[in-house]
Structure 1
Amino acid sequence: MMQFLLRVVVNAVALCVAAWLLPGMDITSSATAAAAAGAGAGNASDTVGVVLAYLFIGLIFGLVNALVRPIVSFLSLPVTCLTLGLFALVINAAMLALTAWLSSYTPVHLTIDSFFWTAVLGAIIVSLVSAVVSWVVGADKK
């Protein structure tokens, strides 16, 4: 259980970096947007709301990667072999787009403006940051 929670935090950090670097990727919450419009920005509860929003999207992204990605990777194995593994980038981008679609039904939204540039670049950034943070924290040790 602790390993899963650590993976959610790593996903949240990776998504935060990707959203910070890419202008077409954004994570918003209806609760934090209402608080920022009403009271005033800079409140400690706004920061907690943003952190919880990233953790929630990290949870959704972790569940998508744990449940859907192995099936898609297995079914697309011939195409991945033909492209010498480059199709794995498309699979990663598709998992990010699926996370954005699933989050549209929740109070916290991950928005991606285009699949080709934003989702693919976001998937590359998330993969790199996730690998580095996992290595630093030791999330892959068993």
Structure 2
Amino acid sequence: MLVNFAIQTVINGIALWVAAWAVPGITFGTGQSTSSTFWTVAIVALIFGLVNALVRPIAALLSLPFIILTLGLFIFILNAAMLQLTSWLAGQFNLAFHVDEFFWDAIWGSLIITFVSLLLGFIKRPD
């Protein structure tokens, strides 16, 4: 179980890094050294994993009528909200991770994170 969480955290870190590379409104701090950026990505991936494990199920349950009404498209809004919450929590810990705008940056970022996580999820061991 702990190994799967560690693998998922690495997958989240890679997905967050790809999203920050692809979406101009998602940043991991500018002008930082490579090792500082690596540790920022690692800690933000851990925060993102905890948010998805603890907050997202509750938010999905509370927004279930909207998810059903939109035939599942509200999941993208929920994922963007989790990304924005991760950005806010990273700011509380003085980490150099920021999502500028909710609608475009967070939505595109969540789509990229979902796609990259899906592709990299095939390497995860079965439960």
- Report the TM-score, using the length of structure 2 for normalisation: 0.94
Structure 1 CA distance, aligned partners of 2:125 and 2:100? 32
1:49-88 alignment, distance < 5 Å: 49-88=36-75
Structure 1 CA distance, aligned partners of 2:121 and 2:37? 22
Verify the 8 A CA contact 1:97 1:119 in the aligned structure 2: yes
* 1:141 shift after superposition: 1.4
Kindly report the root-mean-square deviation, in angstroms, between the aligned alpha carbons of the 2 structures: 1.4
Structure 1 CA distance, aligned partners of 2:56 and 2:91? 19
Structure 1 CA distance, aligned partners of 2:78 and 2:96? 21
Gaps of 5+ in 2: none
What percentage of residue pairs aligned between the two structures are identical? 42
Partner of 2:19: 18
Q: How many residues align?
A: 126
Structure 2 CA distance, aligned partners of 1:55 and 1:101? 16
Structure 1 CA distance, aligned partners of 2:91 and 2:35? 21
Gaps of 5+ in 1: 37-45
* 1:2 shift after superposition: 1.1
Partner of 2:79: 92
